[in-house]
Chains A and B, each alone.
Chain A
Amino acid sequence: MTQVKRRANTKMVPVQSDAIVPERDADKAPVLEARHLGIEFGGLKAVDDFNLTIGKTEIAGLIGPNGAGKTTVFNLITKVYEPTMGAVLINGRDTHGMNIVQASKLGIARTFQNIRLFDQMTVEENVRIGLHNQIKYNMFTGMLRLPGYWKQEKKQHERALELLHIFDMEKLADEQAGSLPYGAQRRLEIVRALATKPSLLLLDEPAAGMNPHETEELMENIAKIRDQFQIAILLIEHDMSLVMGVCEGICVLNFGRIIAKGTADEIQANPVVIEAYLGKKKEGQA
């Protein structure tokens, strides 16, 4: 009840003035629009007045100190939480009242900060879960092994291998997902998310636990994925070399509020951002 009331009170403004998208996407409808997005947990405003627009093929970064609310923003966009304020629009459609599954069908896919693979299933089966809504047949076709089963299973298998090829992981197709090395698990999560044919891919700390060499590889792959699939990517990352290297638009969050938005160069030179990360110089200190 209170939610509906609050939403009605949301102040609406003509398209946010601070929205930035890459020039090539300027004439296309944005993939994601977050408008005055916010959530309260029992009086604590975890995220407040969050505005973000992501262009159709943009690679955007979401950074900020620990506990700034970055993952909460992801959870709001993917409908793990229902926002108490504001709205999320995916491809122009309001996601109010939708659940995680419906949001996924609109074209959002994500990876998780603490890897959430289907550990007891094989690598290929993990990707096939991503294909769940892409290549379908019903339960009885499966139980009775009707011709549709064989046809669709074959399609799923081929598509899964095709997707695994992005990270050269076809050879691992039969391995148990839980037994993969850490880096491979992170890559598998990305492949699985891509299998859902998203228009917006959310990556939650994709480089966590990777060495510099792996991070560099990941950076190239993120760009490659964008070029190949023509999708938008929003990533949370603490590794600044990755963020500054690959992100076009960057958004800095602190205490649940956006403190800066801009390109990599602008963000690096922004005194507010530096203060948020390193703290303020005390008066009188050199």
Chain B
Amino acid sequence: MTKAKRNRLIYNIVTYALVIAAFILLQSMIANKSISRSLKGQLVPICSWIVMAVSLNLVIGISGELSLGHAGFMSIGAYTGAVVSGWLLNSFAVESTLLRLVLAILAGGIMAGVMGALIGIPVLRLRGDYLAIVTLAFGEIIRSLVNVLYIGVQDGHLCFSFLNRNMPEGVTMLVDGAKGAVKIKPISTFAVGFVLILITLTVVLNLVNSRAGRAIKATRDNRIAAESMGVPVTKYKMMAFVTAAALAGMAGALYGLNSSTVVPTQFTFNQSINVLVFVVLGGLGNVLGSVISATLLTVLPEVLRAFSDYRMLVYAVVLILVMIFTNNPLIRSFADRLIAPLKQLLRGKKQGGDEA
């Protein structure tokens, strides 16, 4: 096995192991009732934010396109999930919460994936800043649309409208305009969230180390060279974008079905920036980093509730610091010099281990 391959394998194993270990630890803590109520309530959101961060990392870190509308896909997933779950319960009397949850998540993923494809076709022709601006606009459009969306269910039929007064009499409302998706039965569980994380990790990590993933990375590193090697660039950009959108939709469905209401204001531009902060702080292209930073940055604001007014301010400062420290060659070389002896030490140890 080559060195690069071994490093990759170790990285993947560590990523999976960390997630699984955290799950087992938390489950046993829940069983022992040694977990605080507030943290317990945070578990499912943490799962969805991890999925959000990892999927956005696929677009930003691996495909190299700045997308600022990720919360838009999440809201599509959340609404679809809420509607599908309500519909299944109301019209098909599906009592099993697990079945409803799984179907809702799948529907959320598919819906967001389809939207991702529709948006991707025109948007992925753009590059850099333009792509960022258009995805940002898309996120806002989605939010404005669901703000006036009414969906009801009656006798097994779904009714859609953008006007409340068009709804027939005696309909059970599932989505009620600006009030959002209402009367959701919270059915999300930590276990399903955990499985969703594992699926996301598998999809993203396996994709990265495959033919398609290499094509995506090549497109990021040098578009013209990739095309000259016969790699259809748009196809692979699309693949990354749609996969990320579908995963974000799944995360949205999980997130939406965790509470009794979903409102459009939950998925604003700020939320997209939040996920972006997870990704940048965890490291572009670094999946494990995304998992860790999404977890920490979801838990910390709860713990540091007293400073919540300053959260966005701190995020902005942190983003700027990260940019300075990762892109300034002077600071980078300084950091490298600081780390070098440590690396040497590690390498020395490893070689010693090999000889023994």
Spell out A's residues near B (CB within 8 Å). 78, 80, 99-101, 104-105, 109-110, 112, 116-122, 124-125, 128-130, 132-133, 136-139, 141-145, 149, 152-153, 156, 173-174, 192-193, 195-196
Interface of B is mostly: helix
**Contacting pair A174 B4 (CB below 8 A):** yes
Interface status of B327 (Cβ within 8 A of chain A): no
**Contacting pair A118 B218 (CB below 8 A):** yes
**Contacting pair B229 A196 (CB below 8 A):** yes
Spell out B's residues near A (CB within 8 Å). 2-4, 202-203, 206-207, 210-215, 217-218, 220-222, 224-233, 239
Q: Report chain A residues within 8 Å CB of B202.
A: 143
User: How near does chain A come to B133, taking the closest CB pair, in angstroms?
Assistant: 25
Q: Report chain A residues within 8 Å CB of B3.
A: 174
**Contacting pair A104 B206 (CB below 8 A):** no
Q: How far is the CA of A192 from the CA of B3 in the complex (A)?
A: 21
Given the interface contacts A105-B230, A144-B206, does A118 sit within 8 Å of B217 by beta carbon? yes
Q: How far is the CA of A275 from the CA of B304 in the complex (A)?
A: 77
Q: How far is the CA of A101 from the CA of B226 in the complex (A)?
A: 9
- Chain A, residue nearest B4 (CB): A174
- Chain B, residue nearest A112 (CB): B225
**Contacting pair A124 B4 (CB below 8 A):** yes
Q: How far is the CA of A149 from the CA of B214 in the complex (A)?
A: 14
- Chain A, residue nearest B213 (CB): A142
Q: Report chain A residues within 8 Å CB of B224.
A: 80, 100, 112, 116
- Chain A, residue nearest B224 (CB): A116
**Contacting pair A143 B207 (CB below 8 A):** yes
Q: Report chain B residues within 8 Å CB of A193.
A: 228-229
**Contacting pair B210 A104 (CB below 8 A):** no
User: How near does chain A come to B233, taking the closest CB pair, in angstroms?
Assistant: 8
Q: How far is the CA of A177 from the CA of B73 in the complex (A)?
A: 35
**Contacting pair A129 B206 (CB below 8 A):** no
Q: How far is the CA of A81 from the CA of B2 in the complex (A)?
A: 40
Q: Report chain B residues within 8 Å CB of A120.
A: 217, 220-221
**Contacting pair A132 B215 (CB below 8 A):** yes
User: How near does chain B come to A130, taking the closest CB pair, in angstroms?
Assistant: 5
- Chain A, residue nearest B3 (CB): A174
- Chain A, residue nearest B239 (CB): A139
User: How near does chain B come to A170, taking the closest CB pair, in angstroms?
Assistant: 10
Across the interface, B214 reaches (CB within 8 A) one of A78, A99, A121, A195, namely A121
**Contacting pair B211 A137 (CB below 8 A):** yes
Q: Report chain A residues within 8 Å CB of B230.
A: 101, 104-105, 132-133, 196
**Contacting pair B214 A139 (CB below 8 A):** no
Given the interface contacts A132-B231, A174-B3, does A142 sit within 8 Å of B211 by beta carbon? yes
**Contacting pair A101 B231 (CB below 8 A):** yes
Q: Which of B212, B220, B229 has the most CB of A within 10 A?
A: B229
